Amino acid sequence: MTSTLLRGRTLSFVRWPQTMDDHSAWRYEEDGGLLIRDGRIVATGAYADVEKQADDGTRKIDHRPHLLLPGFIDTHVHVPQMQIIASYGAELLDWLNTYTFPEETKFANAQHGRRIARLFLDEMVRHGTTTVVAYCSVHKASAEAFFAESHARDMLNIAGKVMMDRNAPEGVLDTPQSGYDDTKALIAEWHGKGRQLYAITPRFAITSSPEQMEMARALRREHPDLHMQTHLSENHAEIVFTQQLYPWSRDYTDVYEHYGLLGKKSLFGHCIHLSEREADALSGSGSVAVFCPTSNLFLGSGLFDYQRFRQRDKPLRIATATDVGGGTNYSMLRTMDEGYKVIALNGEKLNPFQSFWQITRGNAEALSVADKIGTLEEGTDADIVVLDASATPAMRLRMETAQTLAQELFLLQTLGDDRAVREVYVAGRAAKSDMAN
């Protein structure tokens, strides 16, 4: 049994940091150690203490002066959109019709799906993200390709084939029955295989008929432990169209509520234009609202009111995500930089500890997987990111005047990207340095 001992400045969170002085909300070791065996963290703390538990064969890797954090978690991405990221000039529904749906038709070709799945996970690792919650295309083969690639890398990823049976081109449509059957087969093959988890994935109310929504309800009933992911209240035209398609509904959220899709493992992308009733319904059911700042800005969708949702009487559970390819960057650092600006436009601030809590433990809690990832705690999986706050000349220069950990984290978020990610460990194995380039 081989073991690895990492040395560096370890930082992880135990709970939401109320303020920048809320020191008991995080654990920071200036000279920290992480002992890894069989893909898990078996000891953590001051390096001198952790080293005592190493054995003669332990491989020691010294990452000082860099930071060691839990690998980043991205809670909403679209794997088939890698080649339409950065497409000009459209709001959501036009963007879907002009770029997204035609692009996703290519995933009928399994070989294309395998190529993109490989390049997608390469890109995630390059940017320090060790877990994603992914939408594959409508084609069963695209989800198979994604899970096969993820499993080969021993990554903990959550994914599903999208269910969509109307309001899109023929090449990206299933039927209520085939969407159900394909989902069942994928769950049977992949859910719980190694670290793979399946998410039931009706794309959104516009592209699912009432019959398909019934099928999504049935799948949830039959597999209550699975995640469910969809989109909600992203764009005004989308909201109006949804109301026309489901005229009996009180509001957009009510459509999903009606089909039994709210709950603690339900992830709703965007949630920008929610009424108080909708926010209450999400909160009461423990559903998660996913904040996708770069996408919301790029598509001109609106400003997610993070602090209002957190601070209301009935707070929302919130996760953050890139939403690639509506989102414009694969990096959770870039994402939180844009998130900071969106929150600032709403007259609030998100401090750097809160920000790094969010993309590690916060997202793990939102996915109900904090017992496995997001914390660096003993017994959890060794998914770790190594961050260098002096990665570029501009960052190095700025670091000359940074005096505190908070300042270092904030400049990492504001100026950092994949270049600040020195190494990434997936289940204890160095994954970034292992890539071809």
Footprint of ligand GUN (CB under 6 A): 78, 92, 96, 100, 203-204, 231, 234, 295, 323, 326
Type of residue found at 278? E
- Please report how close the Cβ of residue 82 comes to ligand GUN at its closest, in angstroms: 12
Nearest residue to 139 via CA among 174, 102, 115? 174
Q: 383-395: buried (b, 16+ CB within 10 Å) or exposed (e) per residue?
A: bbbbbbbbbeeeb
Looking at the Cβ atoms of 139 and 203, the one nearer to ligand GUN is 203
Contact status, residue 100 vs residue 81, Cβ threshold 8 Å: yes
Whichever of 195 and 231 has its CB closer to ligand GUN, that residue is 231
Instruction: Write down the least CB distance from residue 72 to ligand GUN, Å.
Output: 20
- What is the token pair recorded at 21? 């002085």
3-state helix vs strand vs coil in the chain, percent to 5? 40, 25, 35
Q: Which is nearer to ligand GUN, 195 or 334 (CB)?
A: 334
State the minimum distance, in angstroms, from the CB of residue 66 to ligand GUN. 34
What Å distances lie between residue 262 and 126, 129, 308, CA to CA? 34, 27, 21
Per rule CB under 5 A, count of chain residues that contact Zn ion: 2
User: Which does residue 100 bind out of ligand GUN, Zn ion, none, counting CB within 5 to 8 angstroms by kind?
Assistant: ligand GUN
User: Could you say which of ligand GUN, Zn ion, none residue 8 binds, taking C-beta under 5 to 8 angstroms by partner kind?
Assistant: none
Minimum CB separation of residue 357 from ligand GUN in Å reads 25
DSSP 316: P
**CA atoms of 325 and 323, how far apart (whole Å):** 6
Instruction: Choose among Zn ion, ligand GUN, none what residue 29 binds, the Cβ cut-off being 5 to 8 Å by kind.
Output: none
Name which of 169 and 284 has its Cβ closer to ligand GUN: 169
The span from the CA of 345 to the CA of 109, in Å, is 43
What are the strands, taking DSSP E only, across 14-151?
Answer: 26-37, 40-46, 59-70, 72-78, 129-136
Of residues 203 and 317, the one with the C-beta less far from ligand GUN:
203
Q: Which range binds Zn ion by CB under 5 A, 80-88, 261-269, 363-371, 415-423?
A: 261-269
- Identify what 113 binds: ligand GUN, Zn ion, none; CB under 5 to 8 Å per kind: none
| 36/134 with CB nearer ligand GUN | 134
Instruction: Report residue 8: phi and psi, to 5°.
Output: 170, -170
Structure-token match 């069989």, residue found: 38
156: closest CA among 184, 182, 190?
A: 190
Residue 160 is a binding residue for Zn ion (CB under 5 A)? no
Pick between residue 81 and residue 105 the one whose CB is nearest to Zn ion: 81
Name residues contacting Zn ion, limited to 307-326 (CB under 5 A): 323
Pairwise CA distance, residues 163 & 166, whole Å: 10
Residue nearer to Zn ion on the CB measure, 176 or 269: 269
Contact 311, 354 (CB under 8 A): no
Helices (H), 259-362: 276-285, 293-298, 306-311, 332-345, 352-357
Residues in Cβ contact with 380 at an 8 Å cutoff, skipping those fewer than 6 apart: 40, 41, 371, 372, 373, 374
For residue 365, the partner it binds in Zn ion, ligand GUN, none, with Cβ less than 5 to 8 A by kind, is none
Distance of closest approach, residue 248 Cβ to ligand GUN, in angstroms: 22
Q: Which residues contact 386 (CB under 8 A, 6 or more apart)?
A: 8, 63, 66, 67, 68, 421, 422, 423, 424, 425
- Shortest distance in whole angstroms from residue 202 CB to Zn ion: 12
Q: Which residue is nearest to ligand GUN (CB)?
A: 326
The full DSSP string for 368-390 is T-TTTSSS--TTSB--EEEE-TT
Q: How far is the CB of 381 from ligand GUN (least distance, A)?
A: 29
> Of 78 and 361, which has the nearer Cβ to ligand GUN?
78
Q: Which of the listed partners (ligand GUN, Zn ion, none) does 234 bind, with a CB threshold of 5 to 8 Å by partner kind? A: ligand GUN
Closest CB 302 distance from ligand GUN, rounded Å: 12
Q: Least distance (Å) from Zn ion to the CB of residue 139?
A: 17
Nearest distance, CB of residue 229 and ligand GUN, angstroms: 11
269 binds Zn ion (CB under 5 A): yes
Which of 168, 427 has the CB closer to ligand GUN? 168
Q: Contact positions toward Zn ion, by CB under 5 A? A: 269, 323
